[in-house]
Chains A and B, each alone.
Chain A
Amino acid sequence: MEKKTARNFFIWGTAICTVVFIWLTIDTHQTIPKRTNTDQLTSEVVMGKRVWHKYNCNDCHTILGIGGYYSPDVTKTYSIRGETWLKAFLKNPETPDPTRRKMPNQNLSDEEIHQLVAFLKWVDAIDTNQWPPKPITVAKTTGVTLEETTRALLGKKLYIQNRCDLCHQIGGQGGIHGPDLSKVGARRDLQWLATQIKDPKSLNPNTQMPAYSQLSDEDIESLASFLAGLK
């Protein structure tokens, strides 16, 4: 091969690939409105994105799988955690477990929290070609049975929203700081569970579990009946 041939290969190869790439880019642009729901990309969402940038969230968290790998991916965080939990957490991100990696409190205003959650809600609906993938098999070390009453389902939602799983495990999922709750219903009754949630120190003065006194009596009852159903 001559040097001239090599040069022509370079020029034409690069030119053709650049043209193809630009063509794909133009086509991609036309799919963006539908795939990312640009009709729902309100000014509030944009403000939320600015909050996201302002506090440099992306250098700890990943979003769409890109960013710092230090903290959880937030692409689907809206549908996984729900609005209530997100707003509470952003207000006060302290975790009850001091040994865990911690998010510093950014002292966000209520408005900023509102905007950030709107942004995360919009991100949640982006068509990401089914990423992150559904787990092949959900880790399961104990069989969990659950009577699916409305009350128990409400309790399950509260369990998730309040991130009880940071310390406790159900069916092998969750933290190891607190006791495994997979079969807690077989050991404890409804009343005991309700007291434990509301005022854990009254049952065990040395417990590390924080009191969830901010929950309403009704919520506590729901949560307790969910746990009591785990047998």
Chain B
Amino acid sequence: MTYESQKVALKYFVISAIFFGLQVLVGLLLIIKYIWPDPLIGILPFNTARAIHTNLLVVWMIFGFMGGTYYLVPEESGTELYSKKLANLQFWLLLLGGLIGVIGFLLGWTAGRPLLELPVELKWAIVIVALIFIFNVFLTMIRTKKWTAIQGLLLGGIIMLAVMWLFGIPFFKNLTLDYYYWWWVIHLWVEGAWELIAASLMAFILLKITGIDRAVIEKWLYVEVALVLITGIIGTGHHYYWIGTPEYWLWWGGIFSALEPVPIIFMVFDTLNHVRHKKVEITNHLVLYWAVGCAIFHFVGAGVWGILHTLPVVNRWTHGTQVTASHGHMAFFGAYAMLIITAIYYALPKLKGQESIKSTKGFWAFWIMVIGMIIMGLAFGGAGMIQSYLQRGLGIDFLTVQGFMRPWFMGVFFAGLGFFIGVIIYIIDVLSIAIKTK
């Protein structure tokens, strides 16, 4: 840490970790509802709990990205933040917005669109928070002496994140158009804006821990994000097979989304290459583990799990089944959860002025979470394959098939329980680093 104002990132990281824990806790509740009769049906029915589960995910990741950005930008731009006050204000507004959102869900205040359940008033409030964030980041960056690719792509990512969000705000009369633009938020976030932010953060961390030349790192950063966007933008079409949109999307979506793993393979090789050719000794092994783990799990969860069911011939049978849940969990964990944890383990000790941390808890969290998520993904996948075959293939009634899937849901539950323990260890670790005084 070189600049005093980087310290605003600290509270973003803490809230990010805590909300992660809450998200997983609600996830456990959801899988319990799959397995046993639901005693909470009158208080917290499945749909409300799912809205909380997914929105907490988005909120803790946004907190992570914002914290990461506030840490990175002063160092990259060689200046203090434009305004520490705005960064603090924006933190409290986002936290307030998130809490109002969750309480609102419990009271039935919802827009009723999956993942975009926040009521329209709160969605506009989020726009204001995003504008403050972009304003602050931009005015810091323009003080820089030399624009870097990391700065540019990070700024591009957060602007794209805000712009895409706007497509989730209006009410659509036509369900097909509703979902057409719904994917502009969901898909173009995770295959576009978020990838830009994540790749920039990762490039920054690799630059710092390996000491590789900036020119080399930034060159590959450009190649990767270029491939991400080239495959990802038209790859949105793999969501347009069955929603009432024309048949040509089967080709556009199928071909481009089948290429989506290419940039992720690049990232894996790139990361390993940078680590192999490191110019300084990597002291923080925990960060290295999370970074390399992130690259590999990103490839498996998003790349491999994605391509398995992205082609229309397969997707026709798996669409709308637990196969998607399997992919969703693995991909979000690999691509973004691990990235944010990497960023936090890199930045947090530096914010506290510690050169090295005791990493025992961090390694435990790493292995428990990784193994837990692999088992959870496989269990969801098993459930999904049974569902695709029996329900879609043989035409057996939905609820009867759910009964056959029960053992796999038990697998998800126990893996999730293990995963939750990993998350608890992680939260304790983050909190203990964060509150430590020099």
A positions within 8 Å CB-CB of B = 1-3, 6-7, 9-10, 13-14, 17-18, 20-21, 24-25, 27-29, 31-32, 35-36, 38, 41, 46, 49-50, 52-60, 62-73, 98-102, 104, 123, 126-129, 131-139, 165-166, 172-176
Asked if A136 and B226 sit within 8 Å, CB to CB, the answer is: no
Which residues of B have CB within 8 Å of A174?
Answer: 397, 400
Nearest to A63 among chain B residues (CB) is B175
21 contacts between A and B (CB under 8 A): A3-B215, A6-B220, A13-B230, A17-B234, A28-B245, A52-B112, A56-B48, A56-B108, A57-B112, A58-B47, A62-B320, A64-B242, A68-B114, A69-B321, A70-B47, A129-B247, A129-B250, A131-B242, A135-B395, A139-B395, A173-B395
Asked if B246 and A27 sit within 8 Å, CB to CB, the answer is: yes
Taking the nearest CB of chain B, how far is it from the CB of A218, in angstroms? 28
Asked if B394 and A135 sit within 8 Å, CB to CB, the answer is: yes
Nearest to A14 among chain B residues (CB) is B229
Residue-wise interface mask of B (204-223) relative to A, using a CB-CB cutoff of 8 A (1 in contact, 0 not): 00000000000100111011
B82 at the interface (CB under 8 A from A): no
Which residues of B have CB within 8 Å of A24?
Answer: 234, 237, 248-249, 252
Taking the nearest CB of chain A, how far is it from the CB of B272, in angstroms? 19
Asked if A101 and B244 sit within 8 Å, CB to CB, the answer is: no
Asked if B175 and A127 sit within 8 Å, CB to CB, the answer is: no
Asked if A72 and B110 sit within 8 Å, CB to CB, the answer is: no
Stretch at the interface among B122-130, B176-184, B293-301, B416-424: B176-184
Which residues of A have CB within 8 Å of B390?
Answer: 139
Asked if B393 and A136 sit within 8 Å, CB to CB, the answer is: yes
Q: CA of A70 to CA of B41 in the docked complex: distance in angstroms? A: 13
Question: Considering residues B47, B110, B180, which has the most beta carbons from chain A within 10 angstroms of its beta carbon?
Answer: B47
With contacts A32-B176, A53-B113, A65-B319 known, is A6 near B245, CB below 8 A?
Answer: no
B positions within 8 Å CB-CB of A = 33-34, 37-38, 41-42, 45-48, 50-51, 108, 110-114, 117, 149, 171, 173-177, 179-180, 182, 215, 218-220, 222-223, 225-227, 229-230, 233-234, 236-237, 240-250, 252, 316-317, 319-322, 324-325, 390, 392-400, 402
Q: CA of A123 to CA of B38 in the docked complex: distance in angstroms? A: 30
Asked if B399 and A104 sit within 8 Å, CB to CB, the answer is: no
Nearest to A65 among chain B residues (CB) is B320
Asked if B394 and A129 sit within 8 Å, CB to CB, the answer is: no
Asked if A131 and B241 sit within 8 Å, CB to CB, the answer is: yes
Taking the nearest CB of chain B, how far is it from the CB of A8, in angstroms? 9
Which residues of A have CB within 8 Å of B226?
Answer: 6, 9-10, 13-14
Which residues of A have CB within 8 Å of B400?
Answer: 174-176
Taking the nearest CB of chain A, how far is it from the CB of B416, in angstroms? 16
Q: CA of A145 to CA of B96 in the docked complex: distance in angstroms? A: 64
Taking the nearest CB of chain A, how far is it from the CB of B380, in angstroms? 10
Asked if B397 and A126 sit within 8 Å, CB to CB, the answer is: no
Q: CA of A138 to CA of B37 in the docked complex: distance in angstroms? A: 29
Nearest to A136 among chain B residues (CB) is B393
With contacts A14-B233, A64-B242, A68-B47 known, is A133 near B316, CB below 8 A?
Answer: yes
Taking the nearest CB of chain A, how far is it from the CB of B93, in angstroms? 25
Asked if B325 and A69 sit within 8 Å, CB to CB, the answer is: yes
Asked if B114 and A41 sit within 8 Å, CB to CB, the answer is: no
Nearest to B323 among chain A residues (CB) is A69
Q: CA of A208 to CA of B242 in the docked complex: distance in angstroms? A: 40
Which residues of B have CB within 8 Å of A58?
Answer: 47, 112-114
Q: CA of A28 to CA of B181 in the docked complex: distance in angstroms? A: 12
Asked if B317 and A133 sit within 8 Å, CB to CB, the answer is: yes
Q: CA of A84 to CA of B200 in the docked complex: distance in angstroms? A: 56
Q: CA of A214 to CA of B317 in the docked complex: distance in angstroms? A: 38
Which residues of B have CB within 8 Å of A57?
Answer: 47, 112
Asked if B173 and A41 sit within 8 Å, CB to CB, the answer is: yes
Nearest to B245 among chain A residues (CB) is A28
Asked if B219 and A66 sit within 8 Å, CB to CB, the answer is: no
Nearest to B223 among chain A residues (CB) is A6
Nearest to A67 among chain B residues (CB) is B114
Which residues of B have CB within 8 Å of A176?
Answer: 400
Asked if A49 and B247 sit within 8 Å, CB to CB, the answer is: no
With contacts A56-B110, A137-B394 known, is A101 near B246, CB below 8 A?
Answer: no
Asked if B246 and A35 sit within 8 Å, CB to CB, the answer is: yes
Residue from A3, A17, A36 within 8 A of B229 (CB atoms) = A17
Q: CA of A139 to CA of B233 in the docked complex: distance in angstroms? A: 40
